[in-house]
Structure 1
Amino acid sequence: MSIGILVLAVLILAAAGFVLGRQRALATAGGDPRRLHSLPGHYGQFTAILAAVPALVLLAIWLLAQPLAIESRIAPMLTADSPADRSLAMADVRRISIGLDLLAVSDRLSEDAVASLSSETLAPRLRQVGTAVTQVTPEALSAAKAHRTMRHTLQIWMTAAVGLTAATCFVFALLRIRPDFRARNVSERFVMWLLIAASLVAVATTAGIVLSLVSETLHFFRIYPAREFFLSLTWNPQFRGGSDLGIWPLLWGTVYISIIALIVAVPIGLLTAVYLSEYASRRTRGWAKPAIEILAGIPTIVYGLFALITVGPALRDWFAQPLGLGASSSSVMTAGLVMGIMLIPFVSSLSDDIINAVPQSLRDGSYGLGATQSETVKLVILPAALPGIVGAVLLAASRAIGETMIVVLGAGAAAKLSLNPFEAMTTVTVKIVSQLTGDTEFASPETLVAFALGLTLFVMTLVLNVLALYIVRKYREQYE
């Protein structure tokens, strides 16, 4: 039985448990719900929870443990010189094993026919069913057949275990129901733990990201010296030895493009927010604010194409070539301008919400003292909203640092240290993508450097976000 059908069966049993649990609760109370400790629905919820949750938890644990158990049995059947080679061989075994399943379904092969397949003619047949394999060795085929057999056997045991657990808990829940049973307490306690688990998802995800980045970064620094990575001013990956992997050209390109983007986005976004919150009529605000926020919904690849086709050639023809500063349409200025346009709704929307949060009493007090509207905005509203505006700007800076597609299409891929804004440069995110794509050896420092770059970028954005939260919380005005 497939996993989807198994989960659906458990959920159907839980739904049936809700109905039967509610009916049994009313039956034990003689049809009078006032004799029950909890509402009839709580008894149904208790039955449904007990029928579904233990079975689904067992299913999740089984799915996590099954690949490890299978590979621990299959790995001794493979001959490999290093852990990396063993990992690649195991990946081939998994692909061949899944390909045998697809081949058995498409050609309607029996188990005996699958077991008699030979490695000489198997590769073309596997490619016909969509399995990406170049060749199948007798060793890999033997291991794949054993992998497939173990997988099917464990899947049968999994179906039986999950079904038995759901049925047992279902019956146990029905037997527990009686008028004095505190079903509401059990139901509410489950909801509380569910909310706690949901709140821990972000924490667990962040911890997983950090641990994976740190582990691979330490692996990189065992191969390539950290001193050269943080102090070298040259980025020159060769993939054949003699590489120079200094981070400073990439950091400079990231910071340079982000600064230009903020120079564009912050004044326009802030002035837009002031106009919409203080000067625009309700009708104008009703159509202008959604129109501006549409910019935030445009995919970044569209911005990149806009930079490549329109903005880049215009800057080259109108400024770079006449001033003798360059002849390329890919430049820091191109990426910075387009990225700044993309960031305008981030700054304007957040700043508009913050300005609107300033109490009307402050405006009325300023007008009562004889101040004009512009003086009230400059001397009262903006100072009161300044911490939130600074936080919005720092969040927009974090968004600019992590941008990739606009830089790829608008700024090029040259890693260099230059002050000329009309030269092509690149950023950390672009090089992370380029180092992890293509036919490269994963264990090489030229590939592992992507994790060190990712960890550096993570630290940069984390510092900006923490700084934004600190500024907002420390200097936020408390109004009654």
Structure 2
Amino acid sequence: MNTSLILLVLAIIAVVCYVAGTRRALAIADGVSSRLHSRPGYYGSFVAVCAALPALVVLAVWLIVSPIYINSTVREGFPEEVKAQSEAQQGLSFGMVSSLARGMDVLTLEEIDRVGANPVELRAMLGTKGVALAGDPEPYMVASAGDLNAMSKISSRVMTAVVLLVALGGAAFSYTRIAPRFRARNRVENVILSALIFASSIAIVTTIGIVMSMLTEAGHFFGRIPAWEFFFGTVWDPRFAAAGATASEGQFGLIPLLAGTLYIGLVAMLVAVPVGLFSAIYMSEYASPKVRAVAKPLLEVLAGIPTIVYGFFALTSVGPFLRDLSSQLNGLATGDYTNFIQAQSVLTAGFVMGIMLIPYVSSLSDDIITAVPRALRDGSLGLGATKSETIKKVVMPAALPGVVGALLMTASRAIGETMIVVLAAGVAARMQLNPFEPMTTVTVKIVSQLTGDLEFTSPQTLVAFALGITLFAITLCLNIYALFIVRKYREQYE
């Protein structure tokens, strides 16, 4: 029985247990629910939870532990000459065994007996079934694939039996616990509370896991490259140096990438913040309901466009337009029609990224401004202030903590953008202040360093984790500063 079918059976058992538990509670109380400590539905929920929850825990643990044990057992059965190979080679061999095992599942017993352990005939037979293999399997791989399928089938059958027995046992135990004074509500609410705590802990645990993984790999990188060379280096050249050079691992200066990230993000924010904030003020304070109902959804359509589409738009439209415009302006001024704005530049990437970020600023700021209490507006207008003065001196200061949070989210999105920068700003790691020249960002280099055929243990790959933890630290500092601003102004308007 596969996992989906087991989950369906557990759902049916839970429903049956809920109905049975509810009816038993009413039967014990002679149909008068006031004689029970809890409502009848809590007794049914208690039986359903006791039946389903332990079974789900057993199922989850089994699905995690069983494949690890089976794969380890199969690999232990490899010939000694195979186990003497490197871990990568053993992984390739096991991958072939897994492919064979999946392919043998589509064969009948007669077909398996016909080909026997002949790898050539087996590959041909699998080819007729639409199962392609990367190479010719060896005889031991065929035997290991059979063992893998056999152990997987046994594990599946035992898992099904154990899970169903646990579910039925939990249902029987909880069913016998039902009594008029049994605190079913407390038990069910404790389970729900535990589920809420578990759900809220997922984000924390995930964040800790991400940070620890990046710190571990970044530690390996800093074990080979000095930290001061990374954080204060002004040259980004992560390649093996030529023969006779003093540096054998290339140069990993962070400053050019950090400068490009902040520069492009600054240009994007200069485009997105004024336009998005002014549009939010208009839609929340000046626009009629009909205009707002049409304008806001149209503006938010920009948020649904994939970033790669923005990148193509920058590469094929905005970049060439700015380049040709600069050529015309230069020709009118000096007679030389040489363009001074490159098609791939900081300005191009920042402008297009700013367009992408407008709906984030606008939508979030609009909701925040709308949430400002009406009493503040009425009090300001009642004292003789104009509408514009009310917005400038009352509404916006009151909404400032929320607006700061919206701008922080927008800045984080700008810092983490990759595809627009690749297509609109290029991949050149350089330090310069001219917005008409190409630059690149940290995220672009993270992608480029993790792709290709470099070894995962090389500094050229491990530097991606050092870049990632640096971005995390920058975002954390932005969050702390924004929290300080939010608390400062919130005290003035509460």
**d(CA) in 2 for partners of 1:436 and 1:358?**
46
| Shift in alpha-carbon separation, 1:137–1:281, aligned structure 2, 3 A | same
User: By how many angstroms is 1:458 displaced?
Assistant: 1.8
Q: Percent identity?
A: 52
Deviation per CA, 1:188-234: give whole Å up to 9, x if none.
Answer: 11111111111111111111111211122222223333332222222
Which stretch shifts more, 287-296 or 204-213? Answer: 287-296
Supply the AA of the counterpart residue of 1:96: M
Q: Is 1:214 paired with 2:195? A: no
Deviation per CA, 1:21-61: give whole Å up to 9, x if none.
Answer: 22222233334433332222112111111111001011111
1:189 corresponds to? 190
Residues 304-315 of structure 1: pairs in structure 2 closer than 5 A: 304-315=311-322
1:404 corresponds to? 418
| Shift in alpha-carbon separation, 1:216–1:242, aligned structure 2, 3 A | closer
User: By how many angstroms is 1:316 displaced?
Assistant: 1.1
**d(CA) in 1 for partners of 2:365 and 2:211?**
31
| Shift in alpha-carbon separation, 1:308–1:192, aligned structure 2, 3 A | same
Supply the AA of the counterpart residue of 2:167: A
User: By how many angstroms is 1:420 displaced?
Assistant: 2.1
Residues 151-170 of structure 1: pairs in structure 2 closer than 5 A: 151-170=152-171
- Native 8 Å contact 1:435 1:446 kept in 2: yes
**d(CA) in 1 for partners of 2:376 and 2:45?**
51
Supply the AA of the counterpart residue of 1:205: T
Supply the AA of the counterpart residue of 1:445: P
- Native 8 Å contact 1:264 1:337 kept in 2: yes
Gaps of 5+ in 1: none
User: By how many angstroms is 1:81 displaced?
Assistant: 11
| Shift in alpha-carbon separation, 1:138–1:360, aligned structure 2, 3 A | same
- Native 8 Å contact 1:103 1:125 kept in 2: no
Supply the AA of the counterpart residue of 1:16: V
2:440 corresponds to? 426
1:379 corresponds to? 393
Q: Is 1:463 paired with 2:445? A: no
Q: Is 1:36 paired with 2:43? A: no
Supply the AA of the counterpart residue of 1:167: L
- Native 8 Å contact 2:426 2:439 kept in 1: yes
1:96 corresponds to? 96
| Shift in alpha-carbon separation, 1:469–1:294, aligned structure 2, 3 A | farther
**d(CA) in 1 for partners of 2:124 and 2:392?**
73
**d(CA) in 1 for partners of 2:250 and 2:139?**
39
**d(CA) in 2 for partners of 1:152 and 1:122?**
21
- Native 8 Å contact 1:321 1:327 kept in 2: no
2:304 corresponds to? 297
User: By how many angstroms is 1:470 displaced?
Assistant: 2.7
| Shift in alpha-carbon separation, 1:146–1:443, aligned structure 2, 3 A | farther
- Native 8 Å contact 1:320 1:422 kept in 2: no
SS at match of 1:223: coil
- Native 8 Å contact 2:326 2:341 kept in 1: no
2:347 corresponds to? 333
| Shift in alpha-carbon separation, 1:366–1:6, aligned structure 2, 3 A | closer
- Native 8 Å contact 1:80 1:86 kept in 2: no
Residues 173-252 of structure 1: pairs in structure 2 closer than 5 A: 173-238=174-239, 242-252=249-259
**d(CA) in 2 for partners of 1:336 and 1:394?**
17
Q: Is 1:15 paired with 2:15? A: yes
**d(CA) in 2 for partners of 1:129 and 1:376?**
71
- TM-score, normalization by structure 1: 0.89
Q: Is 1:63 paired with 2:63? A: yes
Supply the AA of the counterpart residue of 2:62: W
- Native 8 Å contact 2:101 2:148 kept in 1: no
**d(CA) in 2 for partners of 1:243 and 1:472?**
43
User: By how many angstroms is 1:92 displaced?
Assistant: 4.2
Gaps of 5+ in 2: 242-247, 331-337
**d(CA) in 2 for partners of 1:124 and 1:444?**
40
- Native 8 Å contact 1:239 1:444 kept in 2: no
2:87 corresponds to? 86
- Native 8 Å contact 1:216 1:448 kept in 2: yes
**d(CA) in 1 for partners of 2:111 and 2:264?**
60
| Shift in alpha-carbon separation, 1:216–1:132, aligned structure 2, 3 A | farther
- Native 8 Å contact 1:104 1:114 kept in 2: no
Which stretch shifts more, 250-259 or 179-188? Answer: 179-188
**d(CA) in 1 for partners of 2:450 and 2:156?**
34
**d(CA) in 2 for partners of 1:56 and 1:110?**
37
1:351 corresponds to? 365
Supply the AA of the counterpart residue of 2:292: R
Deviation per CA, 1:283-314: give whole Å up to 9, x if none.
Answer: 32222222222222222122112112211111
**d(CA) in 2 for partners of 1:245 and 1:363?**
54
**d(CA) in 2 for partners of 1:5 and 1:114?**
32
**d(CA) in 1 for partners of 2:309 and 2:296?**
21
**d(CA) in 2 for partners of 1:268 and 1:80?**
67
Which stretch shifts more, 72-81 or 25-34? Answer: 72-81
- Native 8 Å contact 2:319 2:344 kept in 1: yes
1:472 corresponds to? 486
**d(CA) in 1 for partners of 2:143 and 2:173?**
45
- Native 8 Å contact 1:325 1:422 kept in 2: no
- Native 8 Å contact 2:17 2:171 kept in 1: yes
Residues 441-460 of structure 1: pairs in structure 2 closer than 5 A: 441-460=455-474
| Shift in alpha-carbon separation, 1:85–1:142, aligned structure 2, 3 A | farther
Which stretch shifts more, 311-320 or 135-144? Answer: 135-144
Residues 251-290 of structure 1: pairs in structure 2 closer than 5 A: 251-290=258-297
- Native 8 Å contact 2:24 2:178 kept in 1: yes
User: By how many angstroms is 1:139 displaced?
Assistant: 5.7
- The aligned length equals 479
